[in-house]
Amino acid sequence: MAFEIVAASRAEQAKTTPWRHALRTGLVLGGAAVFMAVVGILMMFQNRPIIVDTLTLGYATLGLTLFTAGLLVARRGLFGHRDPTIVGGVVAGALAAGLPALLAVVMSLVDLRGVFVALNAPLLAMLTFHQSPAWLGAAGLLVLGAALGGAGALFLQLPDRIRRPLAAGLIATGLAGMLQELIRPILANSRVTKPLHDLLYTWSGLTLRGAVIIFLVVAVGVLLWHLNRPRIEAALDHLDPQTRRHIRWAWWGAAALLAALFPVFAGNFIGQVLLVVGLFTLMGMGLNLEVGLAGLLDLGFVAFYAVSAYTTALLMADSPYALAQLSFWQAMPIAVFVSVIVGVMFGIPVLKIRGDYLAVATLALGEIVRVIVLSDAAAPLLAGANGILQIPRPEIGSFVLGTPVSLFYLTLAASLVAAYVAWRLGESRLGRAWMAIRDDEDVAEALGINLIQVKLLAYGLGAAFAGLAGSIFAVMLGSIYPHSFQLIISINILALIIVGGLGSLPGVAVGALVLIGLPEMLREFGEFRYLFYGLAIIAVMRLKPEGLWPSAARLRELELDAETVAVQQAQVAEQRS
């Protein structure tokens, strides 16, 4: 029955006339523009230049929305021919601009600030391009919308060799402007790249000259590549396989080397962000053993992280609570071992619990650690809410790993070791046993798999990864407090392995970059970054439900499901005819 309804709605969608689609697209994107204006995102973006004195992020976002209206209309290809498609794009763009234009007119007549605090004079000025009668500016916005919508529709009709360089140039220019705070210090720091910096940027951002240069260089580069590609590929084909393999290895080696050296040039802010991403990658790989391989949903993973961080602190800190004054290299293995023990103890009470109930039970166990540390009973030992301070940095010989960048390399090394271990475990007899209990616990047990043993190994080994991360976390901050170990960390780790692709190792790193790195980079947008964070999660789950870098098996699984749906739809259609 449900399938028939789905099939019916699909059929209706297919019947949509091109004009109805253009209208709907325009209205949806116009609504999005109005939403961004009302919640204040647009105005916040308006204060952020992309090209100094020429283009702000606010106008770029608005323009991109209008352009997208045209793109979406053309992408469905309902109009068939080129000219009507462009007309459709114009209509959709004008509609998308119409809603914010209407908002501007209303704002000029009525003061809406009592309802929405973001609907203020600067926003009105922005939407009307600083024109004095508001309706004149609003009309201008409408015309701009029509033009951009038409341009969006036209853009998709262009031949590849023109469209690709254009798109690449625009994207590169946009990125150069958006990420200027990241790029500028890197270029300005070295004497070699300083002239390049002066050519493209001023102290406040990308200059118009810089934007034109970047656009031209990238667009021409892509165009040349596009024109010469067949020849280059033919030349490559003539090489013997050995040389080709070498070239490929050289490429990958160079890329890996560049990526690994990037933090050195990028400085301490980026180093710090990548360090946190690395810690979450470590924990993600651990949780991946539990959730991705063994199917044991765990919302209390932060407990192992906390235990290890506190163990490290107690063994290293220059504080009255410390038990010893070990070096990091002595304390870290002990801390990892302690988290393994805690992991196993954590596993024992939940051995017989399955599925959703397991999630709730582990949630509670995860909170216990934080509550114990905060309690009065443990305060004489663990310092309660005051935390343990003055944890020294790790040292190699006389070199102190004091900066975020040097600690990042420590994390990178730990992650590489951990990734190797996780990969070997996944391929092993134990890994197969984990996947078996994930698919069907009863059957796995009936085949001779000792559930107690393999489940406790999953918890213990997963905890070891979190222990490694917790130990580095303690020396990174130099002081630890119970409030660093909130439930949100467990949830973040679970979210990042799902977004990255459950059961996939590279997926963990990609997920951590997107879900941990991105919000850190968006810090300047304050609380709005959580909005982007939420949007990013929804977008990934909607567009790529198998994750950003799925494991091979999971990918096949989802493909099959799509296939099943298609077969069922075909059957429904057959029954009807």
Binding site for other proteins (CB under 8 A): 420-421, 424-425, 427-433, 435-436, 438-440, 442-451, 457, 461, 553-554, 556-557, 560
Distance CA 145, CA 152 (A): 10
For the bound state, the minimum distance from the C-beta of residue 523 to other proteins, rounded and expressed in Å, comes to 38
Q: Would you state the structure tokens that stand for residue 402, as one six-digit string?
A: 């004091």
Q: Which is nearer to other proteins, 87 or 433 (CB)?
A: 433
Residue 175 identity (one-letter amino acid): L
**Beta carbon nearer to other proteins, 184 or 554:** 554
- Left if phi > 0, otherwise alpha if psi is -120 to 50, otherwise beta: which for 88? alpha
Q: Select 363 or 421, whichever has its Cβ closest to other proteins.
A: 421
The rounded Cα 180 to chain-centroid distance in angstroms is 20
Helix (H, G, I), strand (E, B) or coil at 54: coil
Question: Least distance from C-beta 357 to other proteins, angstroms?
Answer: 20
Q: 161 or 352, CB closer to other proteins?
A: 352
Strands 201-202 and 399-400: unpaired
Which tokens go with 287?
Answer: 């949780």
Instruction: Give the residues across from 205 on adjacent strands.
Output: 202
Shortest distance (Å) from residue 501 CB to other proteins: 14
Report the C-alpha gap between 196 and 214 in whole angstroms: 11
Q: Which is nearer to other proteins, 3 or 423 (CB)?
A: 423
Q: Tell me the closest approach of the beta carbon of residue 452 to other proteins, in angstroms.
A: 9
Minimum CB distance to other proteins, residue 546 (Å): 13
CB of 461 to other proteins, least distance (A): 7
Q: Give least dist CB 556 to other proteins, A.
A: 6
* CA gyration radius, the chain: 28
Question: Of 446 and 562, which CB lies nearer to other proteins in the complex structure?
Answer: 446
Rounded (5°) CA angle 303-306-309: 150
27, two tokens = 């209205």
Closest to 393 (Cα-Cα) out of 342, 452, 451, 317 = 317
Is residue 412 within 8 Å of residue 436, measured between CB atoms? no
Q: Which is nearer to other proteins, 388 or 430 (CB)?
A: 430
Residue 560 beta carbon to other proteins: minimum distance, rounded to whole angstroms: 7
- Taking the least distance from each CB to other proteins, the nearer of 461 and 499 is 461
Give the largest CA-CA distance in the chain.
82
Query: Which amino acid is located at 133 in the chain?
Result: P
Phi and psi angles of residue 80, each rounded to the nearest 5 degrees, phi first: 85, -65
- Please name the residues in contact with 440: beta carbons below 8 A apart, sequence gap of 6 or more: none
- Enclosing H/E stretch for 257: helix 241-266
Smallest gap from Cβ 570 to other proteins, in A, equals 18
Residue among 225 and 423 whose Cβ is closer to other proteins: 423
At 491, which helix (H) or strand (E)? helix 487-500
Indicate the residue among 367 and 441 with the shorter CB distance to other proteins.
Answer: 441
Rounded Cα–Cα distance for residues 511 and 500 (Å): 4
Nearest distance, CB of residue 540 and other proteins, angstroms: 21
SS3 annotation, 198-235: HHHEECCEECHHHHHHHHHHHHHHHHHHHHHHHHHHHH
CA nearest neighbour of 303 among 377, 351, 372, 358: 372
Least CB distance to other proteins at residue 362 (A): 22
- Rounded Cα distance between 466 and 474, Å, is 12
Which residue number, 251 or 420, has a Cβ lying nearer to other proteins?
Answer: 420
